[in-house]
Amino acid sequence: MNISVEEVKKEIETHLPNVKLRLVRDSILIENPEDLPQVALFLKESPRFLLDYLSSVTGADYLTFLESVYHLYSMAQKRGPVTLRVRVTKNNAKVPSLVPVYRSAELQEREAYDTFGIIYEGHPDPRRLFMWEEFQGYPLRKDYAQEDTEVLEIADIAWLETRGIEVPVEMKEKAKTLHAAGQRAVAQKPEKPRP
Amino acid sequence: MTNIVEIKNTDLAQTLEINFGPQHPSTHGVFRMTVQLEGEKICGLRPIFGYLHRNHEQIAENLPYAAIMPYTDRLDYVNALSNNFGYALTIEKLAGIEVPERAEYIRVIMAELARVVNHIAVIGFMLNDLGAFFTPLLYAFRERERILNLFEEITGSRLMNNYFRVGGVKRDLTGENLAGIQKIVSRFPAFLEEFEALLTKNEILCMRCQNIGVLSAKTATNAGITGPVLRASGVNYDIRKVDGYSVYNRFDFKIPLGEKGDVYDRFYVRILEIRESLKILDQALSTIPPGEIMNKKSLPMLKMPRNFKPPVGEAYGRVESPKGELGFYVVSDGTPQPWRYHVRAPSLINLTVLEEMCLGQKIADAIIILGSIDIVLGETDR
Amino acid sequence: MTIFGWGVFKGMMVTLKNFLTSYFRKPDEGGIFTVQYPEEREKELENFRNFPFLVYDGTPEKIRCVACGICERECPPKCIHIEMELDGTGKPARKPAVFDIDYSLCMNCGMCEEVCPFDSVFMDHAFEVTSETGSEGLVRHKEALLKSNEYFQKIRPALASTIDQKRKAAEEKKKATVQATPPPAAGAQAQGPQ
Amino acid sequence: MAFTKNTSSVDESLRTELAKKGVLWTSLDFLYNWGRRSSIWPMQFGLACCAFEMIAAACARYDIARFGAELFRASPRQADLMIISGTVTKKMAPQVVRLYNQMPEPKYVLTMGACAISGGPFVDGYNVLRGIERYIPVDVHLPGCPPRPEALLHGLMELQKKIASQEILKAEWYKKGLKREFPIPELGPNGLIPKFNPEVWQPAKKNPRREHYGQTILVGKKLKAPDFELAVTAKPIAPRAAA
Number of domains in chain D: 1
Domain assignment present for residue D36? The answer is no
Residue B235: CATH number of its domain: 1.10.645.10
- Burial grade of C158 (CB within 10 A; 0-12, 13-18, 19 or more): exposed
Residue C152: CATH number of its domain: 3.30.70.3270
Give the three-class secondary structure for C118. coil
**Residues in chain A whose Cβ is within 8 Å of chain C:** 194-195
Interface subset of D 35-94, CB within 8 angstroms of C? 60-63, 66
DSSP state of C193: T
Instruction: Give the pLDDT score at D6.
Output: 45
Instruction: Give the pLDDT score at B156.
Output: 86
Report which secondary-structure segment, H or E, holds B42: strand B41-48
Give me the total of CB pairs closer than 8 Å, taking one residue from chain C and one from chain D.
113
* D162 or D170, higher pLDDT: D162
Which residues are bridge partners to D45 per DSSP? none
pLDDT tens sequence across D143-167: 888 888 888 899 888 888 888 888 7
D181 touches chain C (CB under 8 A): no
Give the minimum alpha-carbon distance from B118 to chain A in angstroms, rounded to a whole number: 23
Residue B375 CA to residue B370 CA, distance in Å, equals 8
Give the minimum alpha-carbon distance from B306 to chain A in angstroms, rounded to a whole number: 12
Number of domains in chain B: 2
Instruction: Give the pLDDT score at B13.
Output: 57
pTM: 0.89
pLDDT tens sequence across B179-222: 988 988 888 888 888 888 777 777 788 888 888 888 888 888 88
C136 touches chain D (CB under 8 A): yes
pLDDT tens sequence across B257-275: 888 888 888 888 999 999 9
Give the least confident one: B10-19, B310-319, C143-152, D91-100: B10-19
Cβ-nearest to A25 among D186, D215, D228 = D228
Domain assignment present for residue D200? The answer is no
* A110 or B131, higher pLDDT: A110
Task: Tell me the residue range of the domain where B287 lies.
Answer: 56-380
DSSP state of D184: P
Task: Tell me the residue range of the domain where C155 lies.
Answer: 52-163
Which residues of chain D are within 8 Å of residue B333 when distances are taken between CB atoms?
A: 222, 224-226
Domain ranges, ordered by start, for chain A: 5-121, 145-190
With residues binned 3-state (H G I as helix, E B as strand, rest as coil), the percentages for chain C, rounded to 5, are: 40, 15, 45
Residue D54: CATH number of its domain: 3.40.50.12280
Contact B318, B301 (CB under 8 A): no
Domain assignment present for residue D60? The answer is yes
Residue C1 has pLDDT above 60, yes or no: no
Residue D175 has pLDDT above 80, yes or no: no
Residues of chain A with confidence (pLDDT) below 70: 1, 191-195
Domain assignment present for residue C115? The answer is yes
Domain assignment present for residue D117? The answer is yes
The mean pLDDT of D75-87, rounded to a whole number, is 88
**Residues in chain A whose Cβ is within 8 Å of chain B:** 25, 27, 52-56, 58, 60-61, 69, 71, 75, 78, 81, 83, 99-100, 102-108, 111, 115, 124-125, 128-132, 139-140
Contact C77, C149 (CB under 8 A): no
Instruction: Give the pLDDT score at A163.
Output: 84
Residue C187 has pLDDT above 50, yes or no: no
Mean pLDDT, chain B, rounded, equals: 85
Give the minimum alpha-carbon distance from B102 to chain C in angstroms, rounded to a whole number: 20
Contact D206, C139 (CB under 8 A): no
Domain assignment present for residue D227? The answer is no
Instruction: Give the pLDDT score at C191.
Output: 45
Number of other residues whose CB lies within 10 A of the CB of residue C109: 25
DSSP state of A59: E
Assigned CATH topology for domain A5-121: Beta Polymerase; domain 2 (3.30.460)
Among A125, A136, A175, which Cα is nearest to A153's?
Answer: A175
**Side-by-side strand order, sheet with A21-24:** A21-24, A27-30, A79-89, A65-74, A53-61
**Residue B26: pLDDT band with limits 50, 70, 90:** confident
Among C135, C128, C130, which Cα is nearest to D162's?
Answer: C130
The reply to whether residue D122 touches residue B54, judged by beta carbons under 8 angstroms, is yes
Cβ-nearest to D215 among A130, A139, A150 = A150
pLDDT tens sequence across B344-370: 988 888 888 888 888 888 888 888 888
Instruction: Give the pLDDT score at C193.
Output: 40
Mean pLDDT, chain D, rounded, equals: 80
Interface subset of C 73-102, CB within 8 angstroms of A? 73
The mean pLDDT of C109-119, rounded to a whole number, is 86
* A54 or D19, higher pLDDT: A54
B32 and B168: one domain? no
Report which secondary-structure segment, H or E, holds B82: helix B80-95
B224 touches chain D (CB under 8 A): no
B247 and B304: one domain? yes
Domain assignment present for residue C28? The answer is no
Domain assignment present for residue C123? The answer is yes
Beta-strand pair C121-123/C52-56: antiparallel
The reply to whether residue C7 touches residue B64, judged by beta carbons under 8 angstroms, is no
The reply to whether residue B152 touches residue C47, judged by beta carbons under 8 angstroms, is yes
Give the minimum alpha-carbon distance from D123 to chain C in angstroms, rounded to a whole number: 8
B71 touches chain C (CB under 8 A): yes
Residue D6 CA to residue D29 CA, distance in Å, equals 13
Phi, psi torsion values for B212, nearest 5 degrees = -110, 135
Domain assignment present for residue D17? The answer is no
Q: How far is CA C132 from CA C138, C142, D8, D140, in A?
A: 9, 21, 15, 5
**Residue B5: pLDDT band with limits 50, 70, 90:** very low
Residue B111 CA to residue B226 CA, distance in Å, equals 18
Instruction: Give the pLDDT score at D5.
Output: 45
B245 and B354: one domain? yes
Which amino acid is located at D130 in the chain? R
B110 and B39: one domain? no
Residue B11 has pLDDT above 80, yes or no: no
Give the minimum alpha-carbon distance from A104 to chain C in angstroms, rounded to a whole number: 33
Instruction: Give the pLDDT score at D236.
Output: 56
pLDDT tens sequence across D20-57: 666 666 778 888 888 888 888 888 888 888 888 888 88
Contact B103, B294 (CB under 8 A): yes
Which amino acid is located at D192 in the chain? L
Which residues of chain B are within 8 Å of residue A61 when distances are taken between CB atoms?
A: 340
Which residues are bridge partners to B148 per DSSP? none
Domain assignment present for residue C110? The answer is yes
